[in-house]
Amino acid sequence: MTALAPDLKEFLQAPNVAAFASVRPDGRPHVTPVWYEYDGREFIIGSFRGAVKLGNVTHKGFAALCIYTQTLPYRSVIVQGTARVGSPLDNVWRERVAVRYLGESAGRAYARDTADWDSVAIHVRPIKWRTEGFETS
């Protein structure tokens, strides 16, 4: 997907929680809710060191995200792609994402209260997109 339709781009910038899917080393699926950021090329997700999803990405190198609404009109974006573990997340990124999801005051407080958490980035580079309820569907 090269250019995103305006409504799809707006949807990806909204604070929708995503379901992050990865594969355990034994082949069983693992799904967990995540906050994300999309920079136009890839999705960035925060993860604690030692989290199941981080180990799965390290082992398999693939992941999927399902971002969806829970109210009408239903819309969803499902992305499958390569996944890699990135650098530790700094507090600037963490605060920006927390403010996006929680609002200015609560987001800043959350970032301040969790500043010492050891988290790293997971980068998901989309290979395959599926959208429902958008101009591009």
* Statement: residue 106 has pLDDT above 80: yes
Residue 2: pLDDT band with limits 50, 70, 90: low
Q: How far apart are the first and last CA of the chain?
A: 12
Burial of residue 134 (CB within 10 Å: 0-12, 13-18, 19+) is middle
Amino acid occupying residue 14? A
Q: Which range (32-41, 68-77, 127-136) has the least confidence?
A: 127-136
Q: Rounded to whole angstroms, how far apart are CA atoms 18 and 98?
A: 14
Give the HSE-up count for residue 126: Cα atoms under 13 Å, Cβ half-sphere.
19
- Tokens found for residue 20: 């992050």
Average confidence (pLDDT) over 52-81: 95
pTM of the prediction? 0.92
* Statement: residue 82 has pLDDT above 60: yes
